[in-house]
Each structure stands twice: as C-alpha cells, then as structure tokens.
Chain A
Amino acid sequence: MLLVVLEHDRGELVEAAREALTFGRTLAAKMGEDLEAALIGAADESLVAAAGAYGAATVHTCTHDVLSDYGPDAHGAVVAQMVETLAPDAVLACGSDRGNEVMAHAAARLDAPFVANCIDVTPGAPWSMTRVQWGGSLLEDATLDADVALLSCGLHAVAAEPGDPRDAGAESFAAGLDERHAVTVVRDRVVQEAGVTLPTAPVVVGGGRGVGSEDGFASLEELAELLGGRVGCSRAVTNLGWRPHADQVGQTGTRIAPEIYIASGISGAIQHWVGAMASKHILAINTDREANMVVKADWAVIADLHEVVPAITEEIKRRRIRTS
C-alpha cells in the first residue's frame, strides 16, 4: 500500500495535497498497490471525499487534542505510528515546507531514510528515483534501501489532476500523543495581508535589478493590482533592500505557479528560474534579447520596462473603459 500524507491548513485541503495524490496515483500504479491517504488533525467528510476524487481508496483520519493545530513533531509522530501499524510499502508527501518537515520528523523517529523532492520514482529492491538538487537546476539519480520508502515529490513536480475516482472510506486511526508532542505546535498566527498571496496569485509581476530602485516598483505594483496579482522580485532586489524577502521568487524564496509570470528586468539567474519555472506561461520584458529569462519565456518584449509596464497598464484601463 502507498500512503499519501495530505497537507491541509486548519481543515482546508491545500494544493500540495492534490499534487501528492496526483503523483501518488502514478506511483501506486507502478507498485501495483492501493493508494491510501493520511489525514492528520482533521476528519471532515469533504476532505475524505476530495481525496477519493484523486484516487484514494481509504483515508486514515487522526484527530487528537494535540493535533488541534499544525505541529511538525506531532504530525511526524502520527506518520511514524501509521507506518508501524498500517505497514505501508511507501509513504509520500508533497515536498512543501510542511510536507518535507513532517516526513523528516517521521523518518527521524523511525530511524529510516527519507528521500526529499523526487520527480520520478521506481519501486524495487532497492527503490530508484530521480530527485531535485539545486532547486531543480541539477538532478540526482539515487537508490533507496529501506523497509519502508519515505518520500516526497517536488513541489509543482506535477500539476494536480483528479482521476481514478473512488468512494473513499474513512478509517479512524488512534495515535498515541502527549504533551511532549505539543511543544512545537503553532502558538499564534499573525495575518499580514488578506487576499491573494505570492504562492497562490494567478498573475505575478516580477521585478529584478533592472527596475533600478525601490520606487521603480510602483508601476509593477499598479499592474499587479489591476490584474488581481502580486509583485515578486529576484534575490538581487532583496539583497539591495528594495523589497522584503517575502516577495522573493527563487530557490531560497517562494516557488510560484501562476497562470502568467511577467518578469520585468530580470536576467533569470538559475536560482531565480527554479522558483519561476512552474509558471504556466512566462512573459519577459527586458532590454537584453539574450537574457536567460527572455530565452526561456513564451513571449517577450525587448524594451525598457519603465516604458512598457505603464503602457500595458494604460492599455488595460483603456479596454476596460471601452467594454464597461
């Protein structure tokens, strides 16, 4: 059996969970085994049904006072206990911040290897896989010799697709947890911005060193707002202090997956590219026709972003007035 750990945020299934189920369907088929899921800290019927829509035959739900909010140690302990009780051949999570964290905690408790951010997995003795290094600019072929294969698939390695729908049954799992597991549970949350955020924005308007200054981002902000999107930036911009790190797209920042990424004045250094490459479409605005971002984009405008970005904004406003 393949057990997929479902990431949710206070009862809301997140995209990473759907990606893990999608990746898991392919893997379970290769294994010739059933796909089952683990829902830790929630038991809502709607989540069980959602997992079923992605091919999970059974969902093992686990609720407990300690699981009232996210805690990496508690979640990892439940995964480890599920491994011991349910004896899956493999456990898979999505390689998001939480997914990798929970799997690492489970692996540490089980004293078992854990292979993070796989993009292709072949079951066997040993297992073999291709995994991401350098955020995706390099790949590693590896083997895994273990009683249970603990794995994560790279974030955005696959696009979430429902399939092989099942009428999933829920099985309640009784976990042994106590106050020691509660030490690392979330104590408080501070919401700084409601609404669309960088990881979920349908449009990201990115700015690099070519924007020239902190103030230069004003036109990018205006365009992003007009399109219901967000502004992102390159590592160079963060290091210059023009934008907060939360806006950074890249290997050490946020990995985005918008419908379109409008990359303005960004050369497209490898560590930025790996954060942007899951974008469904890319439009580059750059004076340098040879820039990596231009070469890798679907569309490009070879011009000064300070002229083009406001012109795009004006054109959108003009058309909206015309159609209203």
Chain B
Amino acid sequence: MKILCCVKRVPAPGAKINVTADGMDVDAAHLGFTTSPHEECGVEGAIQLKEEHGGEVTVLTLGPGEAEEQLRYAASVGADHGVLIPTDGTAYDPQRTAAAIAAAVTELEAEAPFDLILFGNESADAGGFQVGIRVAHALGRPIVQGIKGIELDGDTVRARREIDGGFEVYELPRPAVLGVKEGLNLPRYPTMKGRLASKKLEVRSLDVAAAAGGQQRVRLHRPEEQVSETVILGEGPEAAAAVVDVLAELGVL
C-alpha cells in the first residue's frame, strides 16, 4: 500500500495575519507556521491506513525550503518519506502548483503508482479549491473532495463525505485521489521516538518546472473592519428577559 499525502506550509491559523508592504504576501516576521489543517488530518489518515494495511507513506510539499519543517513533522507522526518541490519564493497560482505536483508524482511513480493520493480539500491560506482535482485529472484518476471518512476494501476506496444531516458514500477504484477535510480524524501528537526519527528523514528535493497559469495576484489586503455597535443587555442572568425580547423581535421564539 503506497500512499502519498500532499501538504502545505501555512501560517498558524488564529494569528492575526499582516501583509507585506508591497501587498504580495503575508508578513511572516512574527508568525508561527504549521501544516494546513485539512492536510494534517490527511497525514493522520495516511498513517492510520498504513497501520491497518501495511505499506508506506510519502509526504510531499511544494514551497520554500522552510517547508521541510512540515515534512519532518509528518515523519515524526509516522510518515516514511519526504519530498520537497522548492518554489522560487513567489506565490504559485493553482494551475502552476498542480502542474508541478503532477510532474513530481509522475517522477515518484517511476516504479509503482501510489494506491492513494490525499490532498487537503483546500489550503487554509489561498483556498483555491482545485489543486487536488487538477492533479487527479492530469494523472487520469478519480477524485472526490470533502472527505471525512476513508475505508479500503480490496481494490475499492470507500469514502464518506459529510452532507446536511448525514453523509454520502463514494466508491472509487484504486489508484484514487481524495480531497480530505478536518474531522476525518483527530491527528496524533509526535512521540519522543518519532521526533528523533524525523531528524533522520532524508528529504528528496525534486526540481520540476511548471508554467504560470491565468490567475495572477495583484495584492493582498485586509477587509474593512465591520464596526458594530454592541448593545450590552446586562451583566448577569437577569439579562435573560432582555435577551428573550430580542429573540421575540427577530421572530425566532
């Protein structure tokens, strides 16, 4: 069982994101970095499948040299191999990202294809919602997004996708690609042994050329702050009557 999980290095969610003076990128000066949340669950999902069915997990990232940190983190929780596609420091558009990853996967599959490739549903920062789908098409493999449950049944990958009030089930033949979402699992923390092992991870660097696509960034900026006048209804349980008045006014009682 060969599984590939593609991850992205992103500023840690929850922090206030500042933009560089030229507006072309986020100001990383005071930010911590992490693996994009959906993809963190992708790594955990890949490790769980490996534990259940045997095999090996490769983690791939496209990004700056520092993104090696995210590959080592994945190794500390059980990934076997790390692959870095170094970028030139500019923000890649979705088409360029997907073309580079598809070329790298083709190179990595020289001996045998990955049974399963996992992507995050979308990255926490750019949120283009398309890289995994483009890679799947380039490789000629089926893909479904929004996945919160994966089962392997022989050559079939059974995937669960949350919908309003339940879930949909998809059945894809291997080799397949899935776009996974947070909620697939609760990612484990690294063990001391895992941390030590991750230091020894040999990261393979793959230089692949990919042409820019048709979407180009002009600038990043923060939305205008919505200034709202907060009406304080009270400072204790005695505010309940005022709250119910509001609910009545809105017609939700």
Contact = CB atoms under 8 A, between A and B. Distances in A.
A193 interface: yes
Contact of A134 (B127, B167, B236, B243): B127
Q: Report whether over half of chain A's contact residues are helix, strand or loop; otherwise say mixed.
A: mixed
A139 B223 contact: yes
Question: How big is the A interface, by class?
Answer: 35 or more
A260 B244 CA distance: 12
Interface centre among A108, A141, A295 (most CB of B within 10 A): A108
Contacts of A307: 236-237
B182 A241 contact: no
Given A248-B183, A271-B13, A193 B215 contact: no
Given A72-B144, A101-B129, A302-B235, A113 B94 contact: yes
Contacts of A152: 129
A97 B203 CA distance: 34
Given A104-B134, A299-B230, A97 B146 contact: yes
Contact of A193 (B126, B165, B239): B165
Given A104-B129, A104-B130, A314-B240, A252 B93 contact: no
Contact of B164 (A186, A200, A241, A271): A200
Interface string A260-301: 100000000111000001000101100001000011111111
Nearest to B236: A303
A69 to B, nearest CB: 9
Nearest to B222: A138
Contact of A303 (B142, B183, B237): B237
A319 B245 CA distance: 10
Interface in A175-193: 183-193
Nearest to B16: A270
Interface string B84-106: 00000000011100100000000
Contacts of A259: 250-252
A184 B233 contact: no
B144 A184 contact: yes
B14 A270 contact: yes
Interface in B133-161: 133-134, 136-138, 142-146, 148
B28 to A, nearest CB: 14
B43 to A, nearest CB: 15
A145 B186 contact: no
Given A113-B213, A316-B253, A227 B247 contact: yes
A255 interface: no
Interface string A75-119: 000000000000000000001010011011101110011111100
A310 B237 CA distance: 8
A320 B223 CA distance: 42
B164 A199 contact: yes
A113 B145 CA distance: 19
A184 B241 contact: no
A177 B129 CA distance: 24
Nearest to A145: B214
A135 B218 contact: no
A63 interface: no
B129 A315 contact: no
B119 to A, nearest CB: 11
A57 B251 CA distance: 35
A311 B252 contact: no
Contacts of A300: 230-233
A137 interface: yes
Contact of B137 (A109, A134, A142, A248): A109
B221 interface: yes
A189 B169 contact: yes
A151 to B, nearest CB: 10
A64 interface: no
Given A186-B168, A190-B167, A316 B246 contact: no
A107 B130 contact: yes
Interface of B: 13-14, 16-17, 19, 26, 37-38, 93-95, 98, 121-122, 124-130, 133-134, 136-138, 142-146, 148, 162-173, 181-183, 186, 213-223, 226, 228, 230-241, 243-244, 246-248, 250-253
Interface of A: 70, 72-73, 95, 97, 100-101, 103-105, 107-109, 112-117, 126, 128, 132-146, 152, 183-195, 197, 199-200, 202-203, 227-229, 238-239, 241, 244-246, 248, 251-253, 259-260, 269-271, 277, 281, 283-284, 289, 294-303, 307-308, 310-312, 314-316, 319-320
9 contacts: A72-B143, A105-B133, A113-B214, A133-B125, A140-B126, A185-B170, A295-B228, A310-B237, A319-B248
